[in-house]
A and B are shown apart, each in its own frame.
Chain A
Amino acid sequence: MITRRDFLKVASSATLGASAARPMLTWAAGDSALPVPGKEGLIVRSYRFLDLETPVEYFNTWITPTQHFFVRNHMHEPATLDPSDWKLSVGGEVDKPYTLSLAQLSKLETHSVVNTLECAGNGRAFQNPKVPGVQWQKGAVGTGRFTGPRLRDLLERAGVKATGKHVMFHGLDDVPGRVPPFIRSIPIEKAMDSDTLVAIQMNGMALPKHHGFPARALTPGWVGAASCKWLTEIKVLDQEFEGNFMSPGYRWPNQPGKPGEAAKPEDTHPLTALNVKSLIASPGDGSTVRSGLVHVQGTAWAGEGDVVRVEVSTDDGGTWQPAKLGNEKAHYAWRLWDFKWQATSGDYAIAVRATDSLGRKQPTVPVWNPSGYLNNAVDQVKIHVKA
């Protein structure tokens, strides 16, 4: 196994201090703009470590530009990453374990997947009662074009033994204190899917550091946590990986519980694919628009399903009318949608709901779970229409 020290060239504390101390220059919340190279106008959920949310008004393109793409880090990003030293090992329950340099990985045949990546905790802030964790509202989601070798090709080169049932990803997150390392696994069937990648590009460019440079897993249609960043080790296991970020982290109760109720660990299962979900990008919540033709616009996605219908209500859920789906589509990517509304003056609650090819619909209120995962409740904005 490659250790962190083989890989990281630890920057001097002076260098680290200079960059890390920057947030303290602009401390008061809500009235400051915090510098993050390559990321413009994002909502700062955390600056050290970095967690950035995309404001919904940016969701007006099928591909989310990288500068507007959300960032979810569990820990600190690797302090220094030297691509010439970086290695990716493939081992575990395989016949021929091996290691690749970035140059070797980059020479392999690549495949591209347009994928809607969503943090499992997106929408956590709307859980009632409140639950601990990054208080994501609507924008821990985005759609990118990810490119890299298929994970299947890497695994087949190593020769997966019959005992190989799960595939573990280990990233180079800089782990503070005694926090457990960010290691998770996915079942072998998903790992061998032709769309599961070791991505080295995002939106046509080398992966930016915030998104896992030089390589990340890309497990399409699944919660973002299945797409480990700063990937350095792929290990085939005979069972699911046992660690904090598999249990108790990222699990869902087998039985629905009452709001506020805890779930017994043995009565839960790991999160996998995303739910069906939709968002209103415009008009913005609390905004005022002129009467007449109003374009209500947004996005809808469904993990491993396909969005088949998006409906909009302009009367607080009383009646629903179909929205027009955008032409751009890919299996794991969201659809843009548009609803033309002849608005007269007054105050309105506008809502959207999607249905997918698996027959799934969105609930009207968040489904309770103790960590606030997978909130796909119907989205709503309140607006004023002036004459």
Chain B
Amino acid sequence: MSKLSRAVVGVAALLAVPVVRSQSASSSGLPEGPLQAKAATACTECHEARIIVQQRLNKAAWTKEVDKMIKWGALVEPQDHDPLIDYLSTNFGVDKPEYVADRTTTASPKKTKK
């Protein structure tokens, strides 16, 4: 494994923990469900959950997305494939309310809320 790959995996490992911890406390993080942890590790290694939770797609479209991401390196075991698609299309389907986005600031970050 190259230094770069190790760094990327290292970051992913660091990021995965706060994502999982914050899910149940947040209405807009990855929601609870049997595939919550799998989605957090398979998807957020490369991108954060925000890019998932803003989508409003039917099951066919989620299937295409998941299959594309597996081709691009997302680690999804065969037994998790269909449940992951179910999890995404249930939580981020076309009937869900509009996603509300954050804004940026140039100010210093706020302290962590525990």
Contact = CB atoms under 8 A, between A and B. Distances in A.
A135 B72 contact: no
B46 A44 contact: no
Contact of A177 (B15, B45, B58, B61): B45
Contacts of B109: 22, 25-26, 34-35
Size class of the contact patch on chain A: 35 or more
A45 B47 CA distance: 12
A20 B46 CA distance: 12
A29 interface: yes
Contacts of B26: 27-29
Interface stretch (B31-39, B79-87, B94-102): B94-102
A290 to B, nearest CB: 27
A135 B55 contact: yes
Contacts of B28: 27-30
Interface string B18-42: 1100100011110000000000000
A44 B103 contact: yes
Interface string A170-201: 00001011111000000000000000000000
B77 interface: no
Contact of B7 (A11, A32, A51, A135): A11
A46 interface: yes
Contact of B6 (A13, A29, A130, A132): A13
B51 interface: yes
A130 B55 contact: yes
Interface stretch (A2-10, A94-102, A226-234): A2-10
B76 interface: no
A16 B11 CA distance: 7
B108 to A, nearest CB: 6
B4 interface: yes
A44 B99 CA distance: 11
B11 A27 contact: no
B10 A28 contact: no
B94 A48 contact: no
Contacts of B108: 35
A179 B104 contact: no
Contacts of A33: 102-105, 107, 110
Given A67-B106, A177-B72, A177-B73, A130 B56 contact: yes
Top 8 A-B residue pairs of the complex, sorted by shortest distance between their CB atoms: A177-B73, A13-B10, A30-B100, A29-B28, A24-B18, A176-B46, A178-B73, A33-B105
18 contacts: A13-B7, A13-B14, A23-B48, A25-B110, A25-B112, A29-B100, A29-B101, A33-B104, A33-B107, A36-B106, A38-B106, A39-B106, A44-B103, A44-B104, A45-B101, A67-B106, A134-B54, A177-B72
